[in-house]
Amino acid sequence: MKLFSAKKSKVSPITIGWWEYLQLPALSSSKIKAKIDTGAKTSALHAEDIKVFIDKGVRKVRYTLYPNQKDRKNKKTIVSKLVEVRRIKSSIGTTTLRPVIETLVDIGGQKFIIELTLVNRDLLGFRMLLGRQALKKRFLINPSRKNILRKR
């Protein structure tokens, strides 16, 4: 009698460290240093001058992206379709309304669409957090290592 049946995955998840470089091809050609954050449900991207507006009946968001940490010279103004404005609880417990966009991410050779909240992260150590929704069923995280994909 068979009590348990484990389905085998066709693809083994890639192991990543507690931070990795990734790319957001639709937003920037630069690699972005992202903290892998299993405590955050949704991914977050540093953005400034965030403005939600309507263009021909479509809700959009305009924002300025500074992809490189501590680099104020290389900036890019981007307009994206707005998915929604969502209440997000930060790690310190405050709730804010943040615009949500969808974009392609490329990490470790895997490309897939993720949701990103736009928020000013200028005082924080990373321009981006990659949250649980993006990590789920794709990656194993080794919290004692960093930038593992660089060596692949």
pLDDT band at 89 (very low <50, low <70, confident <90, very high): confident
Q: 8 pLDDT exceeds 60? A: no
Mean of the pLDDT values across residues 87-103?
A: 89
Which comes out higher in pLDDT, residue 2 or 96?
96
Domains of the chain by start residue, with CATH = 14-151 (2.40.70.10)
Spell 20-37 as b/e; 16+ CB within 10 A means b.
bebbbeebbebebbbbbb
pLDDT band at 71 (very low <50, low <70, confident <90, very high): confident
Confidence at residue 143, expressed as pLDDT on a 0 to 100 scale: 95
Across the chain, what does the average pLDDT equal?
A: 88
Confidence at residue 125, expressed as pLDDT on a 0 to 100 scale: 76
Confidence at residue 127, expressed as pLDDT on a 0 to 100 scale: 87
State both tokens at 107: 């990490």
pLDDT band at 55 (very low <50, low <70, confident <90, very high): very high
Using DSSP, state whether 39 is helix, strand or coil: coil
Confidence at residue 1, expressed as pLDDT on a 0 to 100 scale: 46
Rounded to the nearest 5 degrees, what angle is found at the Cα of 88, between the Cα atoms of 84 and 92?
160
Q: 12 pLDDT exceeds 90? A: no
Confidence at residue 6, expressed as pLDDT on a 0 to 100 scale: 47
Which comes out higher in pLDDT, residue 150 or 72?
150
Mean of the pLDDT values across residues 44-61?
A: 96
* pTM for the model: 0.86
